[in-house]
Amino acid sequence: MKFQGAVIKEQGVTFAIVVVKRHVLQDSRQREEARAGFAPLFPGLPVILMAQDARGVPSYHGRKDIVGFLANVPMAAIPWKEYTAN
């Protein structure tokens, strides 16, 4: 499985962002399943889920302090990369 994500260290906090489909963010069970599935790939890091709407506007879900921080970060400033998980 390939997916887009990023690992960021900001203000002493390291966290992961993973791109998911919009419907995942809209369903609490799917959010938690996605977070649990990605957590082993980023051991010890908070996992933030991100989806974009039809206009490309991002929405984030996860730890409130990190989500608040990301709300003010331009998408182009995030060091996205493609990950491969077995």
Q: Any idea what the CATH number is for the domain that residue 30 is in?
A: 3.40.1350
CA proximity to 51, closest of 38, 64, 42, 60: 60
**pLDDT tens digits, one per residue of 21-63:** 999 999 999 999 999 999 999 999 999 999 999 999 999 999 9
Domain count, the chain: 1
Question: Whole-structure pTM over 0.85, yes or no?
Answer: yes
Domain span at residue 45 reads: 2-84
Question: How many Å apart are CA 62 and CA 58, to the nearest integer?
Answer: 13
Question: How many Å apart are CA 68 and CA 46, to the nearest integer?
Answer: 14
Question: How many Å apart are CA 14 and CA 53, to the nearest integer?
Answer: 26
Residue 48, Ramachandran bin (φ over 0: left; ψ between -120 and 50: alpha; else beta):
beta
